[in-house]
């Protein structure tokens, strides 16, 4: 992922001050009907405003506020305001006009209380507006950066879960192939071809894409089933497409672990495995249903499979809470129903 720079671009500061300067220049120029005076006085004021604001944002706030040293911050701010007052009053008197506060409509001398209060309030007003602009931009950029980080983390988790499926599946398939080779079975070439088709799909067709055409996913499932049929003769599987799914897309390798579980825990130990796989559209959602007979047996002391747990984690990451997956037992049949939102490439 390309690293997102959380710093605010300097051009944003430039535009902010230019716009504010222009508005104040027009405001006071119209008020006094003297645009020359307005330009000079605002130029002097903004030459003081800008260093004061960024001294506060980049030095005082990190040094004191972020370290919870509020008394030191308050004292430092008061000293800064005193310096600003001296600079503004002195420069106004010597450069622009001996009348240091023409806006008051009467002559004021430096260090009169009303003038000190007015200048102080004005600087705090400027500080508040400029700081609000800065922290708003900072928050927006941090929000976008955090969103990008979260999306990247989700992609990493999805890739991890997907990569868990692939070795797990190919390990099982290679075991099947090994068992056939021990029997010197003439089915070995067919298994290798089917396995090659599966590997081509995993390595080249799905890559890092989030969704793939459901038709391709069904082809993948059929290849897997054909491999299992080559190994086991007593397998009966039916795949039913009960709706038009031509343009539907789904997360890759979403259904295969559930089908693997059906073969693993199904009725093969009892002589025959019967499995039915249904795809249909129900209430604007894609429904996947797998039904298989099974044999009730004590739990085996083996490594815990990925199966349903992995599938639920992927669904949660991709669809949040907008999905459902249920499992039930009816008579001697184990049923899993999954519903996910439609993702149509059109």
pLDDT in tens, 159-189: 655 555 556 566 767 777 777 777 777 777 8
pLDDT for 305 equals 46
Domain boundaries, the chain: 10-144, 186-341
Percentage, residues of the chain above pLDDT 90: 23
CATH of the domain spanning 186-341: 3.30.565.10
pLDDT in tens, 285-300: 999 999 998 766 554 4
Q: d(Cα 216, Cα 202) in Å, to the nearest integer?
A: 11
pLDDT in tens, 332-344: 889 999 999 987 6
pLDDT for 164 equals 55
pLDDT at 276 over 90: yes
pLDDT in tens, 21-33: 888 888 877 777 7
Average of per-residue pLDDT across 44-48: 87
pLDDT in tens, 5-15: 556 778 888 88
What number of other Cβ atoms are within 10 A of residue 41's Cβ? 23
pLDDT for 157 equals 60
pLDDT for 59 equals 93
Query: pLDDT band at residue 70, thresholds of 50, 70 and 90?
Result: very high
pLDDT for 268 equals 59
pLDDT at 271 over 80: no
pLDDT for 105 equals 57
pLDDT in tens, 226-259: 888 876 778 889 999 988 888 899 988 889 888 8
pLDDT for 239 equals 94
Distance of CA 291 to the CA centre of its chain: 36
Percentage, residues of the chain above pLDDT 70: 78
């Amino acid at each position: 992922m390309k690293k997102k720079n959380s710093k605010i671009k300097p051009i944003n500061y430039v535009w902010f001050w230019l716009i504010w300067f222009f508005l104040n220049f027009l405001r006071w120029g119209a008020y006094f009907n003297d645009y020359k005076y307005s330009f000079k006085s605002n130029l002097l004021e903004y030459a003081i405003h800008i260093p004061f604001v960024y001294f506060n944002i980049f030095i005082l706030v990190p040094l004191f506020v972020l370290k919870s040293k509020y008394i030191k911050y308050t004292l430092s701010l008061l000293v800064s305001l005193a310096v600003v007052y001296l600079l503004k009053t002195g420069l106004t008197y010597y450069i622009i006009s001996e009348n240091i506060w023409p806006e008051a409509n009467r002559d004021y001398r430096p260090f009169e209380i009303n003038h000190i209060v007015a200048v102080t309030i004005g600087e705090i007003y400027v500080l508040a507006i400029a700081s609000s602009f800065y922290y708003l931009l900072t928050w927006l950029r941090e929000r976008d950066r955090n969103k990008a980080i979260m999306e990247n983390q989700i992609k990493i988790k999805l890739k991890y879960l997907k990569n868990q499926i692939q070795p797990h599946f190919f390990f099982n398939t290679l075991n099947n192939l090994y068992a056939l080779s021990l029997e010197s079975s003439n089915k070995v070439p067919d298994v290798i071809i089917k396995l090659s088709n599966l590997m081509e799909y995993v390595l080249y067709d799905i890559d890092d894409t989030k969704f793939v055409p459901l038709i391709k996913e069904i082809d993948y499932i059929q290849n897997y089933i054909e491999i299992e049929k080559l190994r086991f003769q007593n397998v009966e599987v039916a795949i039913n497409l009960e709706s038009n799914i031509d343009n539907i897309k789904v997360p890759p390798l979403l259904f295969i672990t559930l089908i693997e579980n059906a073969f693993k825990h199904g009725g093969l130990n009892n002589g025959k495995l019967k499995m039915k796989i249904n795809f249909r559209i129900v209430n604007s959602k894609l429904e996947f249903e797998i039904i298989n007979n099974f044999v009730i047996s004590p739990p085996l002391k083996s490594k815990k499979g990925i199966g349903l747990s992995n599938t639920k984690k992927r669904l949660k990451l991709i669809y949040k809470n907008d999905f459902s997956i249920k499992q039930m037992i009816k008579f001697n049949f184990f049923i899993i129903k999954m519903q996910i939102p439609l993702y149509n490439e059109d």
